[in-house]
Structure 1
């Protein structure tokens, strides 16, 4: 029998509603909830199970007694169809995230990759709703990025959604020593279309990225950035700078005895050791307490 109950609901405005999967521990520990936000091309399923059917972070957290919310960002997976997906902006995701926090109360936000911007912006506009941010190889704010010109090869046409290629998936997502390579096809089938506009905002095309401007706004919120040594798009210097900008902590996984991790830490072998790492960090900051599981 599971030590948690599972329910689901939607938040936000149609057609940018957001699907939420809620794991409630039994008995309810009344702990600070944890909200898991996935990255580009993914859905919340990346937090439930790994491609080779190992336990994901969401289930692990719930079994430990933490109230856990997993979302499919608007326009992704179970959140349903968005007619203008190629033009959907970051603000649509931020709005849905704020709506969720207003409904469930202040929470820890765990972001991955693209959703890093969502964490920074949500904390900027609604700091009272954010207890802490754990950024897994998070996208930096536009403040730390040069403005990309519209003629750059990094700019994506906004008349169609982005589709992640098999080649780029292997190069940037599943390249690490700890990724379950024998289950690549199972993983690749889980990827979904992505908003071209969000991808352009992420790259600060023509200065259209989302800025914080005054990072001291976030200084009172505990922030931790966690990065693996085999993530080609998130070298040490880049993510360390993101953490420093917000006055947060930076964890380089090889320095804590966890080498060989790439961009998909939640799916790789050793994923639960990384979960223990950020749980212990939350305890050390006084954000969470260990649930009484007796």
Structure 2
């Protein structure tokens, strides 16, 4: 495990639920038949948030939203035992808010039923998250190649306890921001779509940094790009009203993608999956800028940063990845 580069003090920390709904059954509550659902309520579909505010805090908190199959754990200690973005940015005196999205992790209370199956899919995720082609690692990959690390990595996965819903998630995120105050939103993968919607719904999002958004790319309803077939299915743009899209042009946005993403169609479905997402992200950035926005796409190998997986913020070079984000925050007066 790495040694901390500097000490810091926490002025305040805690946790809270944000957003959500209440479902109620008809009838009258019976205090004798306690578990008869009649007349009883269910509080669910909220986000669960853990926050830490360091002494001498910077102006804008960083609000972290995880990706598919993940929870707030993804931003904490890395699978190989080093500091993750949670601690790296606390050391830089940013308040951090770590979110478990509705129907995931510690926010698992859902108001809709879900059949959770137990499927053996670790090796599929190894490939999909671009660590390599199981059991082989990519040459130069920024991932520790020991079994203890891989064990920790696989154990980060956690299932949905209800249907994934961008609107439910973004509604909850709006309430997270009411608690955090004006903030910069940091998203990963499937969290990208809810991130855009959060900024559309709340003027408290002052900037967005998105790591490898995988879906949910929103375009003006009359300016949609073509669907993009890939080895894992077809990636489709989401149509929204121009007035909503223009809200995304009012804040700085940066998107990062890592290594081992082919530029041409690949017979490897896991790699081809990311080919179309990188391509769609570039079209999305172009569209934001076409309408007067300030969006940037960074393909890390193009700037000489190699070997990153789908989780650049927890890869072996995550200090370098964090530094890139710190520079962007400073350039955009978000630090």
TM-score, normalising length: structure 2: 0.64
Which residue of 1 is the match for residue 16 of structure 2?
9
In 2, the alpha carbon distance for the partners of 1:80 and 1:276 equals 33
Q: Is 1:46 matched with 2:74?
A: yes
CA contact (8 A) 1:98 1:122 kept: yes
Which residue of 2 is the match for residue 169 of structure 1?
none
1:105-124 pair list within 5 angstroms: 105-124=181-200
Structure with the higher fraction of residues in helix conformation: 1
CA deviation vs aligned residue, 1:119-156 (integer Å, no higher than 9, x gap): 11111222x2111010111134243565699xxx849x
Structure with the higher fraction of residues in strand conformation: 2
Unpaired stretches in structure 2, ≥5 consecutive residues: 1-6, 21-42, 113-160, 262-270, 290-294
CA deviation vs aligned residue, 1:43-63 (integer Å, no higher than 9, x gap): 010100111111110111011
How far the C-alpha of 1:67 sits from its partner, in A, is: 0.5
* SS of match in other structure, 2:313: coil
In 1, the alpha carbon distance for the partners of 2:183 and 2:281 equals 23
Which one of 43, 48, 54 corresponds to residue 19 of structure 1?
A: 48
1:50–1:234: structure 2 CA closer, same or farther, 3 Å change rule? same
TM-score, normalising length: structure 1: 0.72
* SS of match in other structure, 2:315: coil
Which residue of 2 is the match for residue 256 of structure 1?
303
1:236-255 pair list within 5 angstroms: 236-247=278-289, 248-255=295-302
Which residue of 2 is the match for residue 218 of structure 1?
248
Which residue of 1 is the match for residue 157 of structure 2?
none
Which residue of 2 is the match for residue 129 of structure 1?
204
Which residue of 2 is the match for residue 275 of structure 1?
322
In 2, the alpha carbon distance for the partners of 1:279 and 1:64 equals 9
1:1-294 pair list within 5 angstroms: 3-4=9-10, 5-13=12-20, 14-25=43-54, 27-84=55-112, 85-126=161-202, 128-138=203-213, 139-143=215-219, 154=233, 204=236, 209=238, 211=240, 213-214=242-243, 215-231=245-261, 232=271, 233-235=273-275, 236-247=278-289, 248-288=295-335
* SS of match in other structure, 1:133: strand
Count residues in correspondence.
234
1:24–1:210: structure 2 CA closer, same or farther, 3 Å change rule? farther
CA contact (8 A) 2:217 2:281 kept: no
How far the C-alpha of 1:97 sits from its partner, in A, is: 0.1
1:9–1:148: structure 2 CA closer, same or farther, 3 Å change rule? same
In 2, the alpha carbon distance for the partners of 1:282 and 1:44 equals 21
In 1, the alpha carbon distance for the partners of 2:58 and 2:325 equals 19
Aligned CA RMSD, in angstroms, stands at 2.6
How far the C-alpha of 1:221 sits from its partner, in A, is: 0.3
Unpaired stretches in structure 1, ≥5 consecutive residues: 156-202, 289-294
In 1, the alpha carbon distance for the partners of 2:228 and 2:303 equals 35
In 1, the alpha carbon distance for the partners of 2:70 and 2:312 equals 13
Q: For the pair shown, which has the larger CA radius of gyration, 1 or 2?
A: 2
Higher relative contact order (CA 8 A, sep 6+): 1
